Amino acid sequence: MVTLQGHILVGSVIAIVASIFGTVNVKEGRFRHQLDGIKKYMQFRHVDPDMQDRVFKWASFMWEGKKFRDSERDLEILPVPLRRVIAQAAHMDTFQRVKLFDDCEPQFLEELIMRLELQVFSPGDLICRKGDVGREMYVTRTGTLQVVSDEGQVFASLGQGSVFGEISLLSSFTKQENRRTANIRSFSYSELFSLSSANFKEVLENFPLARRKMIAKSRELLKDRTTDMSEVVHNDAEDDDELAFKVEKLQELAQDIVLLIETFTKTIIEDTTKLKRRLAVLERRRHHPGHPSRKPKLILFAQTPV
């Protein structure tokens, strides 16, 4: 029985390996065909020779390193639990070092890792431009990046495991768009994993605890960059209840103020009317000092019998 199970297991492994090699051959042929199409397009459109040279060097790098194989997609043949374990082993340590993700649930980080997308940049490519709207964060897999000024002066270098652009993910919680604060250029051929703000927001919808932590961390990370943190948007049910309670209290206060104003206005009108009457009496007395303002009342006394 054990021997039979062993044969079945070996046969399954051989079938998986054969399937992988077959898929690789198909991808190689497709990649060659695409490169031929790009070459013909550039020749037909008379693309600048320097640009053609950059494209050919990029294609050579991709071909020699078998980057076209998209190793992340090759893992799709594995069961989801195994893919999660592999992704966690490859990226979890890096994500846990990111200040934005500190103290977050492991399951939340796993979901983020499963949504990473691989991008390849050539030497000289500008990955982030200062002032542009940021829509993704990056994790450096291989290669060297440089933080440069607008004039090209190098301020710092970034290597494997470096993370940048995580502030752009906080646009989900602010009314303003988060813009890049530095220029980052690829010094060599570089492979970067990117996480879009859309995927980040989608994952947060299933992790309310992590979402609350992200809101709190967005306040800490953005308070040095914004002067009005009232723009932070809270959509949690608890925040909605608190807001509704405050609105109700304000409405009650407004009603009390309106009632107080009405009472005060009525009192002023009554006092003003009385004052006008008193002034009128005094005015008549001033013009007619010997004439009483009112007619004297006649009082009749009944005769008392003697």
Q: Which residues contact 62 (CB under 8 A, 6 or more apart)?
A: 31, 68, 120
Tokens 């031929």 correspond to: 36
- For the chain, what percent of residues have pLDDT higher than 90? 15
Q: How many CB atoms lie within 10 A of CB 36?
A: 10
Pick the residue with more confidence: 283 or 165? 165
Query: Using an 8 Å Cβ cutoff, are 213 and 150 in contact?
Result: no
Tokens of 212: 């609350």
Pick the residue with more confidence: 150 or 238? 150
Pick the residue with more confidence: 176 or 47? 47
Average pLDDT of the segment spanning 9-16: 51
The β-bridge partners of 184 are 128, 147
Tokens of 7: 């044969």
- Provide the pLDDT for residue 199: 92
pLDDT in tens, 181-204: 899 999 999 989 999 988 998 999
Residues 91 and 160: their CA atoms lie apart, in Å, by 11
Q: Which residue type does 89 have?
A: A
pLDDT in tens, 237-256: 445 556 666 777 777 777 77
Question: In which band, very low, low, confident or very high, does the pLDDT at 71 lie, cut at 50, 70 and 90?
Answer: low
What's the predicted TM-score (pTM) here?
Answer: 0.56
Q: How many CB atoms lie within 10 A of CB 88?
A: 16
pLDDT greater than 70 at residue 59: yes
